[in-house]
Chains A and B, each alone.
Chain A
Amino acid sequence: MNIEDRVINSVKGVLDKRPEVTLDSRLLEDLLVDSLDKLMILSAIEDEFGLEIEEEFADVHTVKDIVVKLKARGF
């Protein structure tokens, strides 16, 4: 599976009852993600990619932003 699909699946896994998740989905506006949802998403990303996330993911706005950050970390 490519990195984009892995991210989308991780996000879907922790957002029950939400609309479709795509790379362009905005976390707040489209997926109605609040601060706890965001923590859950980042935890799921940590598990999926086996890394520790600190502050550097605080400003992600869309699903694609997560992919970009991961790529910047060498994934």
Chain B
Amino acid sequence: MDRKEFYKRLWVDESLAEVTGYNPYYLSVNSGLNERLLVNGCKMIDLASNNYLGLATDSRVKQAAIEAVQKYGVSLCGTPIATGYIDLFQRLEEELASFVGLERTVILPSCYQANNGLFSCLAGSEDLIVVDRLVHSSLIQGIKAAGCKIRPFLHNNLNHLEGILQRSSSYRQVFVVTESVFSTEGSVAPFKKIVELCEKYGAMPIIDDSHGIGVLGKSGRGILEEQKIEGYKGIYTASLGKALANSGGMISGEKRVIDYLKYYCSHLVYSTALSPAVLAGISAVLDIIRVEFTGIKHKLISYQRQIHKALIEGGFEVVAGEAPINSVQTASKEVTFSLGQRLYAKGILSTPFIEPSVPLNQGRVRLIAGAGLSPGTVDEAAGIIKRLGAS
């Protein structure tokens, strides 16, 4: 045993940042998500955050958070099973459940944690988990932790999925796991059809609606509303840190499932509850969505189209998606970083994805123009993108 050897193994490969002269990770941000974001002291256009609706700095949301701090302080210093279950927490569970149209909800400190804790709690070695090949790391890690058989299916490929389900009748329970909006691609799962397949084969559907909640559906209620899925009998998770502009993760479903998780999901039971400011902030965002969603969504879609058009005119290859995301196909990690760097140099913050966040050599640069930006800022971003492509 040698501790020096231990430290030597902890080596971060920074060669890509050295070659491209750009490291997009852990940039120092010196402001909130305002019209311009201060990054390393420079004013940038934010096409990187998941602030889809632009509510992260909304004055009504801030005010709700401030009032909650004044009433409850900054933390209850306890897990939800202990002192963390304040009335705000309980009310928000009910609000979220009714927002997505499911019986019950439980709230965790993050959706990463929700996705991580769910499977080891509900599935065991006699079960099978069938999962879309492109789902988020939090689901993959959670699924692996369950210790059951895993079968990935080709991205959004119903034939492949059904083939697997047909051959999987010997398991105690089969779970089918996918996302609504695949955030690196902007593609949307044919979830209604997946739910129908699950019905046919007795499988349990599980959907991560992190990029769908507050974005999809006529009134922003997410994938179930968008695809008119009624009487959903599966499990639903979502992040509260994207369109809902705060932080946290929710798991929703039938009462029996949620009651069980409340006692047996260690990721919930042993982790400090979300703080009052966040709980109140989410609730305020839901109130705004109920009233203003149509207008906000209209802006979001028109910005997405404008950026899409600029990318196409600039000669970029854009993945065809249905969500308010533009994802540029950059293939190699060098090209991916280099596009991120060129955008950065011109004042646009983007999100480059390289493996393992995406399959090998399927790099992407994602651009999200949130509804909080002004039309002038989006015009400016579109202009920069077009010129960048031409140069």
Cβ-based interface call for B164 (8 A)? yes
Contact of B154 among A14, A32, A34 (CB under 8 A): A14
Would A37 and B359 be within 8 Å (CB), given that A16-B154, A43-B151, A43-B152 are in contact?
yes
Tell me the complex Cα distance, A43–B163, Å.
11
Give the size category of B's interface with A.
10 to 19
Contact of B360 among A14, A32, A39, A43 (CB under 8 A): A32
B133 touches A32 (CB 8 A): no
Contact partners of B355 in chain A: CB under 8 A = 34
A47 touches B167 (CB 8 A): yes
Contact partners of B151 in chain A: CB under 8 A = 39-40, 43
Cβ-based interface call for A72 (8 A)? no
- Chain B's nearest CB lies how many Å from the CB of A33? 8
Cβ-based interface call for A36 (8 A)? yes
By CB atoms of chain A within 10 A, which of B133, B140, B356 has the most? B133
Tell me the complex Cα distance, A40–B163, Å.
13
- Chain B's nearest CB lies how many Å from the CB of A61? 16
Tell me the complex Cα distance, A37–B356, Å.
12
- Contacting B at CB under 8 A, from A8-45, are 14, 16, 32-34, 36-37, 39-40, 43
Contact partners of B167 in chain A: CB under 8 A = 47
Contact partners of B153 in chain A: CB under 8 A = 40
Contact of A34 among B160, B163, B360 (CB under 8 A): B360
- Chain A's nearest CB lies how many Å from the CB of B323? 21
A: which residues have CB within 8 A of B? 14, 16, 32-34, 36-37, 39-40, 43, 47
19 other A-B residue contacts (CB within 8 Å) besides A33-B360, A34-B356, A37-B133:
A14-B160, A32-B360, A32-B361, A34-B355, A36-B133, A37-B152, A37-B359, A39-B150, A39-B151, A39-B152, A40-B133, A40-B151, A40-B152, A40-B153, A40-B154, A43-B151, A43-B152, A43-B164, A47-B163
The 3 closest A-B CB pairs, nearest first, are: A32-B360, A43-B151, A40-B152
